[in-house]
Amino acid sequence: MGESRTPPRAAAVIGWTALSAVLPGVAHLRAGWRRTGLVLLGLHALLLAGVVAVSLTADAGLLGQALEWLDTITLVAVFAGLAWFALIVHSYVVLRPNRLSAVGQVLTGLAAGLLSVATAVPFTLAAQYANVSRQALDDVFDTPTGAAEVRHEDPWAGRDRVNVLLLGGDWQENRKGVRTDSINLASVDVRTGNTVLFGLPRNLENVRFPPGSPMRKRFPDGFRLPANPDGSREDLLFAVWEYADTHPEIFGGRRNMGPETLKAAVGYTLGLDVDWYVLVNIWGLARIIDALGGLTLTVDQDVVFGKYNEGLVKAGTRRLKGADAMWFARSRTNSDDYTRMRRQRCVLSALLDQADPATVLTRFTQLAQATKGMFRTDIPRPMLRHLVPVAVKVKEARVTSLQFIPPLIHTGYPDWAKIRKLTAKAISDSKRTASPAATASKKPEKASGGNTEDTGGKSADKSPSAAINAGCGTTANAAKR
């Protein structure tokens, strides 16, 4: 190999070494290592061509598949980081810095070392994020033994919709059982992404169960138990999960039947088949809020909380810690269920608004740790590769909401036939909607009963469900303060 006989300068050595970080091989060419330099440049060109090709052809399906490749991504990132580190070091060495003065050798060596570490950092972060993501998925997705195998060539088994039960619970280590205080079902068209979100109140009474089910045999006239001494009831919709879990004798000794029982009850109520559920620990949101550094909220009036009303979230705009934000969302003092629903949606809206990509990336590890143990689901992990593209479609599609709250229904004496009829109509209307671009400028139509909310446009019906969102304690300006 030929070698440059011109004594190098320290600035030149540093410059060529730095340039080799983005154009591998140029330092070798400068030093006379022609064959090695051309090979490195050729490999780099192929790598760039591959990245461009993937970028141009990448879609949500590829992102979904990437969730199955997290182990491979971790290993590739580690290998690439080590390779780039070695490349910078070798590029520096071939420039023969030993011909410099002692001071020049120290300066260039320090610069090359810093550059080597700096170029390895992005690969190290990528490996760390991929590994943390894999651990988070392992914590949430645990496909039960005997679960149906996912056929990737036809994951939906001929269905055009999937129905996912979205639940907010408040289980804690110091309290037994799961109470599902927030109950919604998302019915999604897998082809278009058009979604209808059905909301059921936690205090729905006389819940019915499918014919032939163990719970139907126990409660043929609906879920009804004796009232508590203080007149409160524990036989409402929010208690179905816990009741099924604590009475395995109803199911022939089978335990942990809460999720399946609630899925069956909600599905029978709406006249739909529920595919999966996702349960979020509402109190776990406090950890996420703290991991984000707090949440800026505008509290429209003082909110009292605590067993003895000893706590207070004062009115005004401020950055709240996780615990205070959740007390604001969940305090029952001087509040009814629908007021609490409004405050909960305020907190969730602020959380989505303020969890910007930059914040999420900088606090990725803390957020991953905060979500540990916060989610439960029966979605098979292999389905993720198919659900991710659908989720991307939903983001750009039309999402409507139908809330079964008073005066549309009476929670004490629900009209089950009316609920099923409105559910079927909402889904039928969702199927007939035009493209999101066409509907964005169209004022949403009010469905029967006036409790339908279209989230695809700027307008909103003046209905009970819209009223729940009115006066929400978050604003864009507040988020920026």
What is the model's pLDDT at position 222? 94
Instruction: Indicate if the pLDDT at residue 226 is higher than 80.
Output: yes
Distance CA(291)–CA(323), nearest Å, equals 12
Closest CA to 293 of 358, 239, 216, 244: 358
- Considering 58-72, 266-280, 436-450, 451-465, the range whose residues carry the highest mean pLDDT is 266-280
Which of 35-49, 321-335, 341-355 is predicted least confidently? 341-355
**Residue 355 half-sphere exposure, CB side, CA atoms within 13 Å?**
16
Which of 145-159, 261-275, 462-476 is predicted least confidently? 462-476
Instruction: Indicate if the pLDDT at residue 470 is higher than 60.
Output: no
From residue 176, alpha-carbon distances to 226, 341, 454 in Å are: 21, 24, 38
What is the model's pLDDT at position 165? 95
- Considering 69-73, 131-135, 229-233, 419-423, the range whose residues carry the highest mean pLDDT is 419-423
- Please write the tens of the pLDDT for every residue from 232-285: 778 999 999 999 999 999 999 999 999 999 999 999 999 999 999 999 887 778
What is the model's pLDDT at position 478? 35
What is the model's pLDDT at position 109? 92
Residue 86 CA, distance from chain mean position: 37
Q: How confident is the model at residue 28 (pLDDT cuts 50, 70, 90)?
A: very high
> What is the overall mean pLDDT for the chain?
80
Q: Are 131 and 70 in contact (CB under 8 A)?
A: yes
DSSP string for residues in 154-173: STTTT-SEEEEEEEEE--BT
| % of the chain beyond a pLDDT of 90 | 37
Instruction: Indicate if the pLDDT at residue 106 is higher than 80.
Output: yes
What is the model's pLDDT at position 149? 60
Taking residues 345-364, report their average pLDDT.
73
More confident residue, 147 or 61: 61
What is the model's pLDDT at position 432? 79
